[in-house]
Structure 1
């Protein structure tokens, strides 16, 4: 039960709802055949060990809770069986974290002494690996040498990398013919559910293609997806789109006879209230006193500032991690908590990524954003977080783990979700309820702002068609027919049949030929291109690229020409600059968050006003035709205005106006466009000055394609006659 201080917090805010959630525990199943010293496995660990050691090809999804040992579930069998494995992680920070985590576990696993562990990102390629292969003239050539030498060694190869590099390898964009990508027997994908629709489509299509190939061409037999928040739509896609059999790890479906872990009468997963944990079970998620309050996306910091005394009172209850939506929120709350009685206050975000291990060891209060949402391990008594989506809600809530005692959590929800939950939560009357029951309750109230499903056949099918044709062009003539035939069947399975779409090969070719070549090039990459600046942070002594629109709205920055920028940059950071500046359009010095009126008080923080202006090609795109026929395009002619103005903005305008960017302009104010097409706060759309003086908006990169699909879908719903060839 809450202590007296917590009760006072509840009483002072009538909008707060309190839910008592049961903890979650997993049964341990002893067995001498598990190849890890000192570990009694859970059922999901036995399941994946059984599948991989009995050489069952298929798609395996491990949706065990956070803290349940999902990494060990694939690591133990691949190491003990000597299965060469590529593990794909969404961020470079997670690659670094997993390299340390896996390295620490190898000594306890049978065969761990015979593992060659590689962590590959653009940073490691250009730093440590570049010194090993000085003759390499590109990252792709360097990686080809790295994998060639790795597979010539007698050890098991485990490659940790990100999906961007994996896609470049498979599509031979990085470097022609890197054969090492076809030598892996197992592919592990972490946090797949958190990728965008385009990213999921790209990765799943390529993995299916590799697994379906003859083993003499590609050895990949096992696809393993790790997720703490299972998704029914993804499960359906695994089952219906991928050619290999789909096996959730809950039922040992590949077995004809029961595995010992499956034969036990006891449940493998149980929910427990405080003091009710049975023996033989290990807690992975603790019982929770969960308090729910309303706050709009990007406004949780404002709520916390308005209630500063209550906020500090909450944080004094124990070691706390705060997870907010934006860096400007992190900065505001970090400054708000300075000189308080909270002890050591640390921050981790995109501009404060150094010394993460030390920060995690010493903090009393940690202020962060999505940087600690996945992967990073920390021990904490309570969490306080914002949740703009249901997936984010349960991802962040799951960061409290491995305790039997009751913990505390504070969640800030969109006001409409909070309002709809209130009468249903009141009915529980302070009873302890299971997380599954609560999850179903929460998910039904969040508005689904996911990307439109029509993206699959409007763009992903076209992307895949282009990929298949590229393979045909590079294949021997006697193989081209089979590649094209199998490729089209795969396109149908992944992007047409799931939606019941009548979309022929001729339709795909017409759409492919109609799509701008530069858009096809963008689609071949895993992530879309973004507008970035090269940033020097003198406080953190780092140089990196960061999102242009964020910096213009929220950054206390000074824009500079390159030569002037170099005079401020320490010599030891010049190599770092040379690695990142090729992907940026300008340079700036970053001094922290822009301090507009109200950031220290109780007023809502909005940052600078930001508006784009069309010139040249973009002007023509906006002024030509009607909304019904306009399509996304890669073009130049973008300018930007901010209020207040930023020192050096004029020179950025010149660079920006000459930069090619995939964009989609549309008539209507940002708020109107966002509401009409259910884009949500994280579907970024920006104000655009219409040449005729009307209000307009613009989206960039993959957001431009998503918005276009939303517009077309609504036109189709409204009964407008649009031919497939026009899409």
Structure 2
């Protein structure tokens, strides 16, 4: 089947960069950025149409534009875009500062100072310097932006610096943000623009598929000035330019997480597809990526670049085949030296398909682009009737035969509002839930040095409570008086409520991470405990022993990964068959409660039990057992097994579910999703949780 290429018009207008005529969304974006002081701009052009250039060229070349915070869903994509922006900066505006920030980069910059400073002071200094020079661009992830506004970086001025120095915030791939993230960000934007002392007034969203619900919420709740910049504008059209190539597409029936196994077992069919071209292979799980990469290294002479959340090979060396998972679909812009001609990928939802298939871009008319997709049988059967199909017909067919993961909207009013209330209290009183938890555990006194004056605080709390109601409860017309018992200062809240807020606080979730040294790649990183227990050859170590065992040149970097982790481990390789992992320990109270009274909470006294066929114990596992029993596991109990719960409640393949006492536990922020799934299945989703 041939999927037709896609062309969009170019217009008779001043180019963003010589000698390239601009697209419609580029013309609109430049005009909006130049002429308006406050807006919500949606740049909605197709993949490969220069959406990023449409904002960063005006940001670099404009006068006194202020500081831009450009947020990307993964550090890999942020770094890739930083390199692109920096390269053009050197040509367009050599004096304009562009900086990439993630946790590791902040640590490096902090350590370069001649005196002891915090990461917050580093951010403050960068912002103030950019502001005095007329503008600049900070390329980072949303966590850095949110943590700075929550003042987690131990600097009393960083929040103020963000509010007063930054003029614009850019969100790339915003459609990838989940309901929790989207709701909190929109609440945050509303809070920012309601302040007279905040300079952030311009918000730019980049997405090929903008959310109708998002646009409606900005219009109806925030009252924002919405502008849509698509591929058309009012200028005279000059020509049409091909941005996505025609692709010869084949479909192969498969089940989730089975594509790698099929690829290896039928490699003789795929081998000719790989010959003589640069190819990307995108599968679902890190273990599929690891097994396929190792197979290709052992059985072919191809240069293999492995890219997943677990292992990231250097992109500085040329490659023949890149093998990755979700980290690739939003982490690498396949252009220039990274451009690919063939693509093999799995897709089991519409958004997955469009995101991964969109990696075939930047067309060369001399090249035949080809793709193979592992997909459900229904998808394969539907498209077998076509010899040629347009891009719009492709999307329509996918929406007929696939569906995206279910979104549990009850999360908004059952749990999401507590994240907003914690933020309100942080601004009003100067502390977060984690500060109070730490104070109570150490039986110390809470330092009340931040926050607002009494008069300002009272006005802000009333305004913010009303704002929170509009963002989180207006959908269900709940009586505002019913939420008033929740709206108390955090130092008066129960421990269980504070635990919930602390679990909700990380923008992209927490979970249980371990600092590991991965011997095959020679790198130190953090990774999920339960994945490591299932899939790796691993030894857990005390910190001192871990430091001694890793290569000497990496020892100083260990401190960059320690925060929020529960241990250290040395990983020698991957397993071909997983271990079974479950949680054991005391009988938690949730088991004894009726379903409606169960809520996510922190349970202590639980530890992992690991089994495999060869009955070899994991060295040092007792270190993790003790740590988990003391720290506790934030979870929600389900009567059904992990497999049954996933299917019955439509929890999705990436939900963290662990077997426990005949049922299962949803772990971390997934505990809230599981709770909402149960509430909606039993039709009490409009009830507020019984946590008071």
2:280 corresponding residue in structure 1: 321
Q: Which of 657, 666, 680 does residue 699 from structure 1 map onto?
A: 666
CA contact (8 A) 2:599 2:691 kept: no
- Closer, same or farther in 2 for the Cα pair 1:622/1:489, shift >3 Å? closer
Q: CA deviation at 1:608?
A: 1.3
Matches within 5 A, 1:508-657: 509-510=485-486, 516-596=497-577, 607-615=578-586, 619-644=587-612, 645-657=617-629
Please give the alpha-carbon distance, in whole angstroms, between the structure 2 residues aligned to 1:244 and 1:611.
48
Please give the alpha-carbon distance, in whole angstroms, between the structure 1 residues aligned to 2:667 and 2:298.
41
Q: CA deviation at 1:97?
A: 1.5
Matches within 5 A, 1:81-160: 81=62, 82-84=64-66, 85-109=68-92, 112-132=93-113, 134-136=115-117, 138-151=118-131, 153-160=132-139
Please give the alpha-carbon distance, in whole angstroms, between the structure 1 residues aligned to 2:77 and 2:170.
14
Please give the alpha-carbon distance, in whole angstroms, between the structure 1 residues aligned to 2:457 and 2:370.
60
Aligned to 2:263, what secondary structure does the other structure show? helix
1:257 corresponding residue in structure 2: none
Q: CA deviation at 1:325?
A: 1.3
Q: Which of 488, 491, 496 does residue 465 from structure 2 map onto?
A: 488
CA contact (8 A) 2:12 2:235 kept: no
TM-score norm. by structure 1 comes to 0.85
1:272 corresponding residue in structure 2: none
Q: Which of 378, 403, 407 does residue 369 from structure 2 map onto?
A: 407
Q: CA deviation at 1:560?
A: 2.2
Q: Which of 174, 181, 195 does residue 162 from structure 2 map onto?
A: 181
2:657 corresponding residue in structure 1: 685
CA contact (8 A) 1:211 1:222 kept: no
1:382 corresponding residue in structure 2: 342
Matches within 5 A, 1:496-507: 496-497=473-474, 499-507=475-483
Unaligned regions of 5+ residues in structure 2, if any? Answer: 430-450
1:282 corresponding residue in structure 2: 241
**2:323 is aligned with 1:352:** no
**2:304 is aligned with 1:365:** no
Q: CA deviation at 1:334?
A: 1.5
1:461 corresponding residue in structure 2: 417
Bigger drift between 504-513 and 564-573 goes to 504-513
Aligned to 1:291, what secondary structure does the other structure show? strand
1:26 corresponding residue in structure 2: 8
2:140 corresponding residue in structure 1: 161
1:599 corresponding residue in structure 2: none
Instruction: Say how many residue pairs are matched.
Output: 651
2:28 corresponding residue in structure 1: 47
- Closer, same or farther in 2 for the Cα pair 1:80/1:680, shift >3 Å? same
**2:229 is aligned with 1:249:** yes
Q: CA deviation at 1:196?
A: 2.3
Aligned to 1:459, what secondary structure does the other structure show? helix
The CA RMSD over aligned residues, in Å, is 2.4
Aligned to 2:340, what secondary structure does the other structure show? coil
2:441 corresponding residue in structure 1: none
What do residues 272-322 of structure 1 show as CA deviations (whole Å, max 9, x unaligned)?
xxxxxxx83222211111212222221111111221111212222632100
**2:261 is aligned with 1:302:** yes
Please give the alpha-carbon distance, in whole angstroms, between the structure 1 residues aligned to 2:223 and 2:485.
23
Please give the alpha-carbon distance, in whole angstroms, between the structure 2 residues aligned to 1:455 and 1:354.
37
Please give the alpha-carbon distance, in whole angstroms, between the structure 1 residues aligned to 2:650 and 2:251.
24
Q: CA deviation at 1:348?
A: 2.0
Aligned to 1:338, what secondary structure does the other structure show? helix
Please give the alpha-carbon distance, in whole angstroms, between the structure 1 residues aligned to 2:688 and 2:637.
21
**2:383 is aligned with 1:425:** yes
2:636 corresponding residue in structure 1: 664
1:15 corresponding residue in structure 2: none
CA contact (8 A) 1:324 1:386 kept: yes
- Closer, same or farther in 2 for the Cα pair 1:724/1:347, shift >3 Å? closer
TM-score norm. by structure 2 comes to 0.89
Please give the alpha-carbon distance, in whole angstroms, between the structure 2 residues aligned to 1:27 and 1:459.
45
1:3 corresponding residue in structure 2: none
Q: CA deviation at 1:188?
A: 0.4
What do residues 433-489 of structure 1 show as CA deviations (whole Å, max 9, x unaligned)?
221221122124334423310111111222212322332332223323442343233
Q: CA deviation at 1:406?
A: 4.1
- Closer, same or farther in 2 for the Cα pair 1:204/1:646, shift >3 Å? same
Aligned to 2:664, what secondary structure does the other structure show? strand
